């Protein structure tokens, strides 16, 4: 995989998806594709033809009281191997590796300074 170590995806978790869609459409010119999921709708943001990020309702993540925030994901060749290195490098695995159909395999980790990031092996 040629993207190993590069930022790969960004995702906005928000309490008001429609307001955020309107904001980024106005400010950045984004358009959107809403993708129905089993329990919620995932919005893919586009800049022209390029997918640039996702937007989802934070209440659907099971944590409605968390602050609105952007979550970044870094591509790695093998997310299981990368996650296995996290503790030894001074970080912590917050969510063990899991699969997202047609997207990839993801782990949520925390670096030694406390910042949270996603690691993913894209499908």
What pLDDT band is residue 63 in, cutting at 50, 70 and 90? confident
What pTM does this model have? 0.88
Do the domains spanning 9-70 and 76-123 agree at the CATH topology level? yes
Domain ranges of the chain: 9-70, 76-123
Q: What's the pLDDT score for residue 2?
A: 60
pLDDT one-digit tens code per residue, 10-37: 999 999 999 999 999 999 999 999 999 8
Q: Domain 76-123 classified CATH 3.30.70.20?
A: no
Q: What's the pLDDT score for residue 61?
A: 79
On the question of pLDDT at 1 being above 70, the answer is no
Largest CA distance in the chain: 44
Contact, 73 vs 120, CB < 8 A? Answer: yes
Q: What's the pLDDT score for residue 101?
A: 86
pLDDT one-digit tens code per residue, 80-119: 999 999 999 999 999 999 998 888 999 999 999 999 999 9
CATH code for the part of the protein at 9-70: 3.10.180.10
Q: What region does 77 belong to: left with phi over 0, alpha with psi -120 to 50, or beta?
A: alpha
């Amino acid at each position: 995989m040629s993207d190993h170590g590069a930022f790969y995806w960004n995702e906005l978790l928000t309490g008001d998806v429609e307001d955020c869609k309107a904001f980024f459409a106005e400010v950045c010119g984004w358009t959107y594709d809403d993708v129905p999921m089993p329990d919620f709708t995932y919005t893919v943001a586009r800049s022209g033809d390029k997918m640039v990020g996702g937007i989802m309702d934070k209440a659907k993540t099971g944590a409605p009281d968390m602050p609105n925030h952007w979550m970044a994901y870094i591509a790695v060749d093998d997310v299981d191997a990368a996650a296995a290195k996290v503790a030894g490098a001074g970080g912590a695995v917050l969510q063990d590796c899991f699969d997202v159909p047609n997207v990839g395999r993801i782990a949520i980790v925390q670096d030694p300074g406390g910042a949270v990031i996603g690691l993913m092996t894209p499908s």
